[in-house]
Homo-oligomer: A and B are copies of this chain.
Amino acid sequence: MRRSIATVCLSGTLEDKLEAAAQAGFDEVELFEPDLIASALCPEEVREHAAELGLTIGLYQPFRDFEAVPEAQLRDNLRRAEHKFAVMQRLGADRMLVCSSVSGDAVDEDGLAAAQLRTLAEDAADHGIRIAYEALAWGRHIRDYERAWRIVEAADHPALGICLDSFHILSRGTDPAGIRQVPGEKIFHVQLADAPHLVMDVLQWSRHYRCFPGQGGFDLPTFVQHVCATGYAGPLSLEVFNDVFRQADPRRMAVDAMRSLLLLEEASGITALPTAQPLRGYAFVELAVAAEAAAPVERLLVSMGFRHAGQHRSKPVQLWRHGDTRILVNHDDNGGKPGPRVAAIGVESAAPIRSAERAQRLLAPPLARDRGPGEAELSAIAAPDGTAVFFCRTDDSDAGAWLGDFLTAGPPGGGVSADVTGIDHVALSQPFDFFDEAALFYRSVLGLELQTADELATPDGLVRSRAARAADGDVRFALSVPLVGTDGFDLQHVALASDDVLATAQAMRARGVPLLKIPDNYYDDLRARTHLGPETLERMRDLRVLYDATDDGELFHVYTEMVGPGLCLELLERRGGYDGYGAANSPVRIAAQRAAGRAAARA
């Protein structure tokens, strides 16, 4: 099936949008009329530019408030359509989207609607144009696709069909299975959008909060399967109105859009991609820090029981180990940023080459790497925020494996607090307009599952947070972003797992690990709202351990003080089936981090 995107999904000028869509590999675009009207290009130039880019202009949209009106209004509407047909011919667009009327002039009479749409279709056919009639979820009379289809069926004209829009159908809770009753050749266009489940006026929901398939809460694979069952042979087209996407880099957004469509096609059984490989934990997390800023990082790692166990053969990269938990410290110049920052993450893939193939098919940008003679070939891609993701298969005994690139510098660490059992998750704040894109990236490229989104009140404002994890929980990413505005939130942490966080925190503190100071008020509140025993609570207060509980289990966790401007380590212990990240504690934790940051700035 052809792949299409509405120009309204992307920001910038019409040229920007077309170029971005073409570069991302789309076959055609829906031209959103305001984009044409605001463009200095005349329709012929738009057509030519699109053609040069290898794009078809398929659908022209929207044509509003046409049907079921009194005779005088109909004449006016047909005149208006004639003008638009002329524009479409100059553009080379062959389908016009007519949305069901929202006008007070429209009467509730399907027969009249059908007759007038037939007239419109006759006029359109004279220009070689076909009309795709769409039921808007907030149409005055016509709000669902079944009724739109009955009208189109009654009008019975070859140049009149329907347009199916997943948002308009699924947002109303309409059963999409009825799509299967429509002959595929009468479906002239299919528009796809996902959306989070929100309780708000559907118009507002539609205009501001749509997102690309796989970023929201709709079951779009089933929707697409229903469409395919009809024999529909037209394009799958993305039509997404989103406040954030509208102002993001259109080239990035177009790639994100294409990735979402490929993932949807895979889930719908239309397109086969290299299978996502199971991820079995972390090979390493790499911190980038300038050599002159590295001392606090090294001190922290030593005091936590890590040991400098290896040195890269050709790069200024140290391997630090705590048993099988590995942190790389990279002193390479990171564009002049002192750091420390999480620069790369190595995930354990059952088949790294297959993982890399999938990433490539899903348009993940590959990272070029300098490789010394005899060094392992590692596949690396860039996540949307620039973090490098490596697919590894760690095997000490395999000379070709990545660990072989490190010369042994000493025995692995551990022992001091041997109950650090690995890396639980990595928490990364995202640039403002990268959030949905990042979630989709981890979901599609790494094959992770998205968890529910949270909203946290921090001293810097509201923060959205969402996590993605492997099915068995061995790999987890916690993403966060300011809810509005672009500034002021830039925190990362690496969370280490422990079997007994109280014991580990105590041992670490004894060895000089600086633990983040949590206010006493927090523990007074815990005492009021939980049934934790006084001794446990007192120990938690002493060690600054935070607590969360759900029906599934409990979380005990503690943070180190920040090393550098935006990074710290976390130690956590999951009890029972606790599957979250302590989001309820984030306001307190972030306030404490900000306070510590200000105190450090004053010192």
Mark A residues whose CB is within 8 Å of B: 11-13, 16, 33-34, 36-43, 79-80, 83-84, 87, 198-201, 203-204, 243-244, 246-247, 432-433, 457, 459-462, 482-488, 517, 519-522, 524-525, 527-529, 587-588, 591-592, 594-595
Contact = CB atoms under 8 A, between A and B. Distances in A.
A485 B246 CA distance: 11
Contact of A243 (B200, B461, B592): B461
A587 B247 contact: no
Given A37-B519, A42-B521, A200-B200, 20 more contacts: A11-B461, A33-B525, A34-B588, A37-B587, A37-B588, A38-B587, A41-B519, A42-B519, A80-B528, A83-B524, A198-B200, A198-B204, A200-B204, A243-B462, A244-B484, A246-B461, A246-B462, A247-B484, A247-B485, A484-B485
A588 to B, nearest CB: 5
Contacts of A37: 519, 521-522, 525, 587-588
A234 B244 CA distance: 43
A84 B528 CA distance: 8
A247 B42 CA distance: 43
A36 B485 contact: no
Instruction: Name the residue in A87, A517, A525 with the highest tally of chain B Cβ atoms < 10 Å from its Cβ.
Output: A525
22 contacts: A12-B459, A13-B459, A13-B591, A37-B519, A37-B588, A38-B459, A38-B521, A38-B587, A38-B591, A39-B519, A40-B592, A43-B521, A83-B528, A84-B528, A199-B201, A243-B461, A244-B485, A246-B461, A246-B462, A247-B484, A247-B488, A432-B485
A247 B461 contact: yes
Contacts of A592: 38, 40
Given A11-B459, A11-B460, A200-B204, A38 B485 contact: no
Instruction: Name the residue in A41, A198, A247, A487 with the highest tally of chain B Cβ atoms < 10 Å from its Cβ.
Output: A247
A544 to B, nearest CB: 12
A599 to B, nearest CB: 9
Contacts of A432: 485
Nearest to A82: B528
Closest CB pairs A-B (n = 5): A247-B461, A200-B200, A83-B528, A199-B201, A38-B591
Contacts of A594: 13
B457 A34 contact: yes
A43 B524 CA distance: 11
Contacts of A487: 247, 486
Nearest to A33: B525
A591 B461 contact: no
Contacts of A200: 198-201, 204
A11 B591 CA distance: 11
A243 B456 CA distance: 11
Instruction: Name the residue in A12, A432, A459, A527 with the highest tally of chain B Cβ atoms < 10 Å from its Cβ.
Output: A459
A588 B38 CA distance: 4
Nearest to A245: B461
A595 B521 CA distance: 55
Contacts of A519: 37-42
Contacts of A482: 247
Nearest to A586: B38
Nearest to A457: B34
A162 B199 CA distance: 29
Contact of A595 (B13, B43, B244, B587): B13
A271 to B, nearest CB: 32
A529 B80 contact: yes
A16 B594 CA distance: 12
A521 B33 CA distance: 10
